[in-house]
Amino acid sequence: MIVALEHTTAATSPAPPAPPAPSAAAPPRPARLVLTPKTTLAGQLDGAWWPRSRDLTAELPLLIAALAEPWGRITRVTVNPTRWPVIPHTVPVAGHTLHVGWFTEQDPDKLILLSYTVDRWDLLVVPPQTAPAAAARLMAAASVPGSVLTAGALIAAEAVIGRSPDLRNREDAWESEGGARISDIGSLARLPVGPLSAGAWW
Cα–Cα distance, 127 to 121 (Å, whole number): 19
- 1-13 burial: b if 16+ Cβ within 10 Å, else e: eeeeeeeeeeeee
Break the chain into its structural domains and give their ranges.
Answer: 33-176
Proportion of the chain above pLDDT 90, given as a percent: 54
Longest dimension (CA), the chain: 116
Contacts of 49 by beta carbon, 8 Å cutoff, 6+ apart = 31, 32, 33, 63, 111, 123, 124, 125, 126
Q: CA separation (Å) from 48 to 2, 127, 167, 199? A: 94, 11, 23, 23
Residue 35's pLDDT is 94
pTM of the predicted model as reported, rounded to 2 decimal places: 0.70
* Range 149-153 average pLDDT: 97
What is the average pLDDT across 94-119?
Answer: 92
CA distance 55 to 85: 8
Band (169; pLDDT cuts 50, 70, 90): low
